Each structure stands twice: as C-alpha cells, then as structure tokens.
Copies of this chain bind each other. A is one copy, B any other.
Amino acid sequence: MPKEVPTGISKTNKSTAAKAPKDKPLLHSIKGGKAAPAKTPAGRNAPAKSALGKADAAAPDDAPVIGLNLEPAKLSPAMAAYFKKCQDKLGFVPNVLVAYAFDMAKLETFVAMYNDLMLGDSGLSKLEREMIAVAVSSQNRCYYCLTAHGAAVRQYSGNPLLGEHLVMNYRVARLNKRQRAMLDFAVKLTASPWTVEEGDRERLRRVGFSDRDIWDISAVAGFFNMSNRVASASDMRPNTVYHGQAR
C-alpha cells in the first residue's frame, strides 16, 4: 500500500509560515492623495530584494504596485472623490487606479472609458462583461486582470467555480450557447484578430446578440487587450484582498 496520500499534507496541517503582507497601508496612503509606491522600495529595485528565499518564506510578493518608478501626481478633485468612494464602498482603491495616478489626464480617461464599458448601458449584463474580461485576460495570461476580474465574476455570479473556470480555461465552464459564443468570439478576437470576419459576427447574431451587442463584446474584449498589456508591461500587481473575495 502506498505510504503517502497525494499531497502529503494532513487534513489538520496548518502552515505556520508567514503570510504575504496585506496591502492596507497602501490604501491608507492613497486616501491622503499619495499613491503607494512612495512608501515601498523604489520600483525596479524591489523585485530583487523580495525574491523568494532559500527557505521558501512568504514575501511581499505583490509590492510595489508597478515595476515603473512613477511619481504619484496630486489627485484632481474628481479623482480624489472617486478614490474616496472606492475606499468607502470597496474598502480599498484598486491598484490599477493607483498605477495611473501619476497623471490625472490618463487616470481620468481610463476611468471614463472603463466605467462606460463595464458599468454603462449595454445588452450585456455586468457579469457577462466581466466574463469577457477574464476570458481575454486568461488568453493573455495577465496576472493583474485575472485576479481583479476573476473576483468580480465570482461576486456577480455568486458561483465561485465560474470564476475559476474562466481564469484557467473558459472551455470547461458550463455556459449556455449565448455566453459560449460570446467568449469564443472574444478569445478569437484576442488570439488572432485578423481572422475575425462576417461569419464570426453571424454566429453571434444567431444566438441572439444585436449588432450593438457585438460592438460591446468587441469593445470590452478590446479594452482588456489594452489593459492586459499595460499591466504586463508595467508589472502591475493586484490588491491582495481580491484573492479571498467571494470564494
């Protein structure tokens, strides 16, 4: 008889290793109008310092927020109010906002486009838009967006498994035909946009999507193809709080 069970860890096993530090201080600093990087080791040198040591000890693996050394700007009144609203309603300011906060024009256009696409009127439900976000981000293997929007899918759907499925391989999710066609289109548009043609649009129409819906699917898929790249290019790190949400 085999001597050990698959993971070799007993049911009562309780890791005593230090957990990764929470990003709370980060968020407090934002309330005062200063983004996190000011308090953490300077951007590009940090990674070397926080490398996982010989003992595999937990490390502040997701600080700083980005791997670029950008001085936070003074928040505009609109953005200061928005950050406060995030803090009040979510309990934290999403790191992507912290990352963009070095320049108010860039932060404001990003927020405006994001909110219109993800939260504005659409024939797609908010969950469906988040599902696209995660399927696209999985194709692009984007750590930031998979974490933040995987949490959103878990929250909106009340189905933690759906979030896992979309993060790992959307083809294992048990979707209805509408949502499967929607994600097939978004992922094809991500992987090889030059091959998308009228036949692909027709497939969406056949499962009930309007031409306006097709635009919205495309625009959300496009947006995350942008965000995935900004996040990967800048080594953007998600707020640690996302990982535990809605599991």
Contact = CB atoms under 8 A, between A and B. Distances in A.
B229 A106 contact: no
Interface string A39-50: 000011001001
Chain A binding surface SS class: helix
A168 B155 contact: no
Interface string A191-232: 001111110111001000001101101110111011111101
Interface of A: 1-11, 13, 15-20, 43-44, 47, 50-54, 56-59, 61-62, 67-70, 78, 81-82, 85-86, 88-91, 94, 96-97, 102, 105-106, 108-116, 118-120, 125-127, 138, 140-143, 146-148, 151-152, 155-162, 164-165, 167-169, 171-177, 179, 185, 189-190, 193-198, 200-202, 205, 211-212, 214-215, 217-219, 221-223, 225-230, 232-235, 237, 240, 243-244, 246-247
